[in-house]
Amino acid sequence: MGRQVMVELRTTIDDNGHKEHNTSKQKGMLHQKQNMDVLTFEEKTEDQQMIKNLITIQQEKVSIKRSGAVSMHQQFHANQTTENVFKHPHGNIHMETFTDNISYHSTDNARSGQLTIDYKVKLNGQAERKHELMLTFNEEDTQ
């Protein structure tokens, strides 16, 4: 049985010094299994399309699956390169991701937690850009 949490997802993309910031807050569910935490939440695009998110957090790897208006299965393994295809209504984008660092801390009872991933992405073989993903969740904020 999962517990309801408030999820805040902040991303920063650094494109040669030009930084782009995005933040989204959603209600979600946290499920805990043996050596992993699994977060699920839905978000709406600007044109009201739904995207389902499934984030699996383990010690040295993180998996982000998105489905709906867009779909992808991005994997992060510390100090490794992974590949996936980001599918959206305007076409497909090949993504090559190199994960520099994964940091995850949660309280003993997992009422709150913070995941930070520093990584670089090449889209369709273009120049790589630095990304930082920071995801926080907190059980208290859902009332």
CA distance 56 to 65: 9
Q: Cα dist. 45→66, 112, 132 in Å?
A: 13, 26, 21
Confidence band of 141 (pLDDT split at 50, 70, 90): very low
Q: Is the pLDDT of residue 108 over 50?
A: yes
pLDDT in tens, 114-132: 999 999 999 998 999 999 9
Q: Is the pLDDT of residue 16 over 90?
A: no
Q: What is the mean pLDDT of the chain?
A: 92
pLDDT in tens, 47-73: 889 999 999 999 889 999 999 999 999
Q: Cα dist. 125→91, 129, 136 in Å?
A: 15, 11, 31
**Phi and psi at residue 142, to the nearest 5°:** -90, -5
Place of tokens 């995005």: 22
* pTM exceeds 0.85 for this model: yes
pLDDT at 1: 73
Structural domains present in the chain? 3-142 (2.40.128.20)
